[in-house]
Structure 1
Amino acid sequence: MIKYFAIAFLCLFAVLSACTEAQEEPSTQQLINEIDAAIPQAAKQDDQTLFWKNMLNQDRYASDDVAKASINYQIGKSFAPINIDSAEIYTTKALILIEDIEGFEKEKTAIYNGLGNIAQRRSKTFLSSFYYHKIVSILDANPSISTISAKNKMRFYLHSAQSNTQIGLQESAFELNKKAANYMDSIPKDDYLIFRLYAQLSFNGYKKKVDIDSLRYYLEKIEQNSNLDEHNIFYYGNKARFFVHNNQFDSARIYFQKVLKLKLKNEYDTFENRYINYCNLLQINIKIGKISEADSIISKLSEMEKDTSLYLSLPSRQLFAEAMMNYYYQVRNFDKYHEATEKVLDLKDQMQKEAEIQAKEEMHTMYQLEENKKSIKNLNQSVEATENELQKTKYFLAITILTILIILAILAILYYRQKSRKLQQEYEKVILEQKLLRTQMEPHFIFNTLSTLQSLIRFQEPKKAIDYLNRFSRLLRSNLELSRQEMISLEDEIETMDNYLGLQQARFEDYFTYQIQVPDGLEVDALFIPPMLIQPFVENSILHGFDGEQKWHIDIKITELTEAKQLQIEIIDNGVGINTVSKKNHKSLSGEIAKERLEILSKKYKIPTDYQIFSEQGKGTTVCLKLPIIDGFQQN
């Protein structure tokens, strides 16, 4: 009896002991609370890293991945000011431990934010944007989550908005700013985040081209919350951009000067930031015609560029190159202007190549992170259940192949974009050459036109003078408006040619006639061609094709070649023709430029183009242009 009683007692004792041990096993949330409570204690330690490492080695936390992730994050955080590599290693360990566990949004957002900040310090903008977007996904999925404070929610949205701005996604950044604004009422009115929010709204709103009243409101809020010099650098900069947006260049100039006068001893007072602000001020001085002040700033910037001990990024150098391009255009030094334009294009090429390299490197980093996570997961699962190894291997191979296919697809997209960008740059170069050629022709034409107008007035022919002046004004207006556009409607080009020919006809006292033939039913307002394509050939017919000994005629025939999807434009005159010998020894600059423009159009729209000249001495000349039919939909 005693024996059975003793056995029962021992069994009861074992059960009670097991129950007691089970009750003493802490929950994940209890462990998280202990870690959070230890943060103030760790802050008082001389070696915070050692404090957290000792906690990580305790058996109490060994079996809980969430607790281990939180401690690894604290170790990474303690390393951040002194060793960025170690900070990244421990924070990445934390992410691998916790990412696939459901819940614990507070801990996950803190870890993502830490990795995003590390990527920012390494200038890996795409990678930082990736981590901040992870936080936004969590917040968007559960806006009312209570474990994350309103202040942290606002901070996370602002971090994500800033990274989107850095990679050129201003519209997305502006929407994130608006989400951050939802938490303004939950934090103190003098908190720095309020100032940061309005500074971002102002900058991204300017890029997004919001209405003037909204930009003015943001600036007023920035001013109300600016109480330090490092705040003023944002306020003055945004104020200057506001005045530039509003074409108030004198006011913009004042605020750019204020930025340069600030004496800051922090991350904002960098060599590159001062370089950028000088570039902004230079652009403004060029716009308002203060050339002497522009010369002084150019000297300053040139000296800064010579300092090889300090680094200047390609975007900053591009700002100076673009300013110099505008400067040389302002002072009419077209040789230097062309050199500056080539430099801008070269810098854009370099920036594109650097962006592609950076994107590939950061993509590789993300890929390696995913691979590390998978490897660790596979090891843990192999310990728990080796029978699933084959299935896991297949899954791993499928993900790897899919990732490779994605990388190949991205590389193909990057290649296509690079090719398209190169084609666009070639087109812009040809357009620039055409405009330069036009600037050489127009002064002589304008002088002759004004002389003709003066003659009409002197000989008291007011009706002809008014008609002539009307045509001249319409031609000037259309030249100013249309020459800035990449493509113009055929209707606008016909009207421009009609005005031009009418002026020349009046100037040469009707010794030639002209006719512009357009087939019935051709929708000239819906078809588009490059500007200034026909005029050089018409001008050549008038100036070089007629000798003034008889009545001459010019025909401009426009034909739609439907099957070939081409528009044919013929400029036909019955002039003296082109001398065969001179034709071999001389190449027309306008003709060469037109040929290059047609070749670029052919590449862009995948439709053949053609440019031919048929001429017989003494019988006239025909110029035949064939270009793609471009409707309004394609043009946009």
Structure 2
Amino acid sequence: MIKYIFTVFLYLLTITFPVAAQTEPTRDELLKEITATVVKSDFQKSATAFWQDKLKEERYASDVVVRAKINYMIARSFASQNMDSAEVYVTKALMLVENIEGYENVKLSIYNGLGNIAQLKGKIFLASFYYNKTISILDVNPFVDVPNESKIQYYLHSGQANIKIGLYESAFELNKKAEKFLSPAIKENYLWFRVYSQLFASGYQRGVNTDSLEIYLEKVEKYSDTEVAKRFYYEHKAKFFELTKQLDSAKVYFEKVVEFEKNKYLDEPNSTIIGNIYIGYCHLLENSVDRKQLTEAKSLINQLQDLEKYNYHLQVTDSIPFWSAMATYYYETKDFEKYKKAKNKVIDLQTITQRKSELQAKEEMQSMYQLKENQKSITMLSRSVKVKENQLQTTQSMLIIVTLLIIVILSSMAVLYYRQKNQKLQQEYRQVVLEQKLLRTQMEPHFIFNTLSTLQSMIRFQDSKKAINYLNYFSRLLRSNLELSRQETISLEDELETLETYFKLQQTRFQDKFEYHINVNEEVETGAIFIPPMLIQPFAENSILHGFKGESKEWKVQIVIRELVEKNQLEIEIIDNGIGIEEIRETKKKSFSGAITKERLQILSKKHNTPTDYQIVSEKGKGTKVLMKLPIIGK
């Protein structure tokens, strides 16, 4: 029977079906076709429906990068109608192409689109995150196949986002990179204007010399060919005059900014313009105080107080320049009590702003991860629905159905076999992980007990300053251990950072009676190599707590890390000049670090199928050297 089924199966494989001779387009050809079709879509049907139909066509749907590009085009079509839908589709595009090597031009469009959406939604930290992704691509591959105009936009977007979150140094450097792509071939005045406007704004905040600022200002004036551009030129000019102590000239330009915003408010009243008018009056108030025109300053204060009737439009950040100006005014009028209150108000507002900024950053990143997780669930559900639809549409002949049944049966048997084998492997792996976590819990209480005992002693002897320093290092170390303990492995960089904190903790305790050195060979990439957490610290603890005893001498402990490339191993040495293990045993000091480390290395060897090594060499009165060799583990 089996021989008969096998014969039928081979026969079916020999059957050929007539297919029209044609060459399937390549991925790059499809991407170019999509780009060329952008204009045509408006003449056929709505852009959204057009691209959604394209997504259903087999020639597009079968390629993940092409699907990503089409999802991006759908997102663009939604941008002016429904920002949430645009965010869903561009996030879907990112998930499709993010982990595929190459196609930086597609990724640049997607990351920039996500940054634009986040900025329009007021999520400045999230916008900065995505814009910086585009910069990472451009810095690695500056010759990526996109127009220079687009490269300028990417750098400007990232620079503007960095200005908004206060990273002026980074913003200035990004704007300088944008300037490098300017050339006579760039015909759009808007790009020239924006490059030099942002260079002035970030350079002003960064503290660039006035000669450079003046050059940027001249360029801004040259390319200010719209009323909006002139408004920003007036503001830059006012700040430049203020910086160079030309206060009367600064006043003239601040007044032009306020006049522009007032006229704009008459045409389209909104809260943003009210805030701009308010800030403009704050600048004029500071200017009048600096010019010792206190009567003029009083009039401006009255106008600002009138504007505060619209305080439901104003943000907390809008109030900071007002109270800062008021503090200066009260100081000049010798009203020191009100001056003190105004200064405290500024501090309070700055604190509130900082806390809101930190909370906003956290919420925005959480929303990004949540959106990605939701999109994953939707994608998996869509795939499941598509499979069931395909099953319902199956209309094959009886012979093909029988053949498919045979194939399904054979496949099911193979799947069952491999599933059982995989389950067994997973069960063994989970057992190894549980063993490793158990060993880790044996080590941490030992260290915490020693530390708390020392802290108790400091407090008892009323050494409060030393106790505070010690507690500071301990809290940092404990927080680090708590964060890293959830992970099976951590980067060598994180392990060394935690070890550095531990050494500082113990130096505080022993009043710098020992030295430590951490030497990492140049070939070791600490951020790319992963090891089990708290692998080195127990031996450093043994050296300090048990090895450095007896006569006073220059106690030293050294950590040496090198990569054995030919063996694909990481070699770690912990060397001290302490009393040696024999003397430690004679004083009956018990340490579990050796036994625990040996077990951990055995688990590591079993998991990665790579030999490990663990040795201790010690000489009484001369010191101890611990040698560990473990497999190099990547992320």
Amino acid at match of 1:183: F
Instruction: Supply the distance in 1 between the matched residues of 2:157 and 2:314 (Cα, whole angstroms).
Output: 25
Q: CA deviation at 1:29?
A: 1.5
Aligned twin of 1:237: 235
Instruction: Supply the distance in 1 between the matched residues of 2:485 and 2:232 (Cα, whole angstroms).
Output: 39
* Residue 275 (structure 2) pairs with residue 272 (structure 1): yes
What is the 5 A alignment of 1:341-490?
341-369=343-371, 371=373, 405=483
Q: CA deviation at 1:378?
A: 8.8
Instruction: Supply the distance in 1 between the matched residues of 2:253 and 2:52 (Cα, whole angstroms).
Output: 51
Q: Structure 1 residues 402 and 150 mapped into 2: Cα distance closer, same or farther (>3 Å)?
A: farther
Aligned twin of 2:332: 330
Q: Structure 1 residues 370 and 81 mapped into 2: Cα distance closer, same or farther (>3 Å)?
A: closer
Q: Structure 1 residues 204 and 11 mapped into 2: Cα distance closer, same or farther (>3 Å)?
A: closer
Aligned twin of 2:303: 300
Name the SS of the counterpart of 2:186 in structure 1: coil
Amino acid at match of 1:253: K
Instruction: Supply the distance in 1 between the matched residues of 2:484 and 2:216 (Cα, whole angstroms).
Output: 41
* Residue 127 (structure 2) pairs with residue 121 (structure 1): no
Amino acid at match of 1:278: Y
Instruction: Supply the distance in 2 between the matched residues of 1:408 and 1:131 (Cα, whole angstroms).
Output: 28
Amino acid at match of 1:324: M
The answer on whether the counterparts of 1:151 and 1:187 sit within 8 Å (CA) in structure 2 is no
Q: CA deviation at 1:60?
A: 2.1
Q: Structure 1 residues 406 and 233 mapped into 2: Cα distance closer, same or farther (>3 Å)?
A: farther
Instruction: Supply the distance in 1 between the matched residues of 2:149 and 2:204 (Cα, whole angstroms).
Output: 26
The answer on whether the counterparts of 1:150 and 1:186 sit within 8 Å (CA) in structure 2 is no
What is the 5 A alignment of 1:216-295?
216-262=214-260, 263-264=263-264, 270-295=273-298
Name the SS of the counterpart of 1:40 in structure 2: coil
Instruction: Supply the distance in 2 between the matched residues of 1:29 and 1:58 (Cα, whole angstroms).
Output: 17
Instruction: Supply the distance in 1 between the matched residues of 2:59 and 2:182 (Cα, whole angstroms).
Output: 40
Aligned twin of 1:149: 147
Q: Structure 1 residues 321 and 404 mapped into 2: Cα distance closer, same or farther (>3 Å)?
A: farther
Q: Deviations over 1:476-514 (max 9, x none)?
A: xxxxxxxxxxxxxxxxxxxxxxxxxxxxxxxxxxxxxxx
* Residue 186 (structure 2) pairs with residue 108 (structure 1): no
The answer on whether the counterparts of 2:163 and 2:202 sit within 8 Å (CA) in structure 1 is yes
Aligned twin of 1:188: 186
Aligned twin of 2:629: none
Aligned twin of 1:213: 211
Question: Identity of paired residues, percent?
Answer: 45
Instruction: Supply the distance in 2 between the matched residues of 1:94 and 1:375 (Cα, whole angstroms).
Output: 15
Q: CA deviation at 1:26?
A: 2.7
Q: Structure 1 residues 349 and 12 mapped into 2: Cα distance closer, same or farther (>3 Å)?
A: closer
What is the 5 A alignment of 1:7-156?
14=16, 17=18, 23-44=22-43, 47-145=46-144, 147-156=145-154
Q: Structure 1 residues 311 and 277 mapped into 2: Cα distance closer, same or farther (>3 Å)?
A: same
What is the 5 A alignment of 1:588-603?
none
The answer on whether the counterparts of 1:241 and 1:252 sit within 8 Å (CA) in structure 2 is yes
Aligned twin of 1:460: none
The answer on whether the counterparts of 1:150 and 1:187 sit within 8 Å (CA) in structure 2 is no
The answer on whether the counterparts of 2:91 and 2:372 sit within 8 Å (CA) in structure 1 is no
Q: CA deviation at 1:354?
A: 0.7
Instruction: Supply the distance in 2 between the matched residues of 1:307 and 1:74 (Cα, whole angstroms).
Output: 41
* Residue 399 (structure 2) pairs with residue 321 (structure 1): no
Q: CA deviation at 1:114?
A: 0.7
Instruction: Supply the distance in 1 between the matched residues of 2:271 and 2:288 (Cα, whole angstroms).
Output: 24
Q: Structure 1 residues 98 and 380 mapped into 2: Cα distance closer, same or farther (>3 Å)?
A: farther
The answer on whether the counterparts of 1:230 and 1:268 sit within 8 Å (CA) in structure 2 is no
Q: CA deviation at 1:407?
A: 13
Instruction: Supply the distance in 1 between the matched residues of 2:360 and 2:299 (Cα, whole angstroms).
Output: 36
Name the SS of the counterpart of 1:44 in structure 2: helix
Name the SS of the counterpart of 2:129 in structure 1: helix
The answer on whether the counterparts of 2:88 and 2:375 sit within 8 Å (CA) in structure 1 is no
Instruction: Supply the distance in 2 between the matched residues of 1:151 and 1:127 (Cα, whole angstroms).
Output: 24
The answer on whether the counterparts of 1:318 and 1:347 sit within 8 Å (CA) in structure 2 is yes
Q: Structure 1 residues 182 and 284 mapped into 2: Cα distance closer, same or farther (>3 Å)?
A: same
Instruction: Supply the distance in 1 between the matched residues of 2:360 and 2:185 (Cα, whole angstroms).
Output: 37
Instruction: Supply the distance in 1 between the matched residues of 2:183 and 2:485 (Cα, whole angstroms).
Output: 44
Segments ≥4 residues shifted beyond 4 Å: 10-13, 265-269, 369-394, 401-404, 406-409
TM-score (norm 2): 0.56
Q: CA deviation at 1:368?
A: 2.6
The answer on whether the counterparts of 1:329 and 1:337 sit within 8 Å (CA) in structure 2 is yes
Name the SS of the counterpart of 2:40 in structure 1: helix
Name the SS of the counterpart of 1:14 in structure 2: coil
User: Which residues of structure 2 form unaligned runs of 5+?
Assistant: 1-11, 388-410, 435-478, 488-635
Instruction: Supply the distance in 2 between the matched residues of 1:211 and 1:168 (Cα, whole angstroms).
Output: 19
Q: CA deviation at 1:132?
A: 0.5
Q: Structure 1 residues 169 and 99 mapped into 2: Cα distance closer, same or farther (>3 Å)?
A: same
Amino acid at match of 2:258: L
What is the 5 A alignment of 1:416-565?
none
Q: CA deviation at 1:94?
A: 0.8
Q: CA deviation at 1:87?
A: 0.9
Q: Deviations over 1:57-83 (max 9, x none)?
A: 222222211111111111111111121
Instruction: Supply the distance in 1 between the matched residues of 2:167 and 2:203 (Cα, whole angstroms).
Output: 12
Name the SS of the counterpart of 2:143 in structure 1: coil
Instruction: Supply the distance in 2 between the matched residues of 1:195 and 1:403 (Cα, whole angstroms).
Output: 50
Q: CA deviation at 1:24?
A: 3.5
TM-score (norm 1): 0.56
Q: CA deviation at 1:30?
A: 2.1
User: Which residues of structure 1 form unaligned runs of 5+?
Assistant: 1-9, 410-636
Q: Structure 1 residues 321 and 218 mapped into 2: Cα distance closer, same or farther (>3 Å)?
A: same
Instruction: Supply the distance in 1 between the matched residues of 2:355 and 2:248 (Cα, whole angstroms).
Output: 37
Q: Structure 1 residues 323 and 391 mapped into 2: Cα distance closer, same or farther (>3 Å)?
A: farther
Q: CA deviation at 1:133?
A: 0.7
Q: Structure 1 residues 253 and 233 mapped into 2: Cα distance closer, same or farther (>3 Å)?
A: same
Instruction: Supply the distance in 1 between the matched residues of 2:382 and 2:228 (Cα, whole angstroms).
Output: 49
Count of aligned positions? 391
Q: Deviations over 1:309-330 (max 9, x none)?
A: x421111111111111111111
Name the SS of the counterpart of 1:168 in structure 2: coil
Aligned twin of 2:341: 339
Aligned twin of 2:4: none
The answer on whether the counterparts of 1:322 and 1:341 sit within 8 Å (CA) in structure 2 is yes
Q: CA deviation at 1:269?
A: 7.1
Q: Deviations over 1:183-223 (max 9, x none)?
A: 10164344311000000111111111111111111011111
The answer on whether the counterparts of 1:160 and 1:173 sit within 8 Å (CA) in structure 2 is yes
Greater radius of gyration (CA)? 1
Instruction: Supply the distance in 2 between the matched residues of 1:73 and 1:404 (Cα, whole angstroms).
Output: 40
Amino acid at match of 2:73: Q
Q: Deviations over 1:134-154 (max 9, x none)?
A: 100111111112x21110001
Q: Structure 1 residues 37 and 276 mapped into 2: Cα distance closer, same or farther (>3 Å)?
A: same
Q: Structure 1 residues 402 and 54 mapped into 2: Cα distance closer, same or farther (>3 Å)?
A: farther
Amino acid at match of 2:347: L
The answer on whether the counterparts of 2:148 and 2:181 sit within 8 Å (CA) in structure 1 is yes
The answer on whether the counterparts of 2:160 and 2:171 sit within 8 Å (CA) in structure 1 is yes
Q: CA deviation at 1:256?
A: 0.3
Amino acid at match of 1:284: N
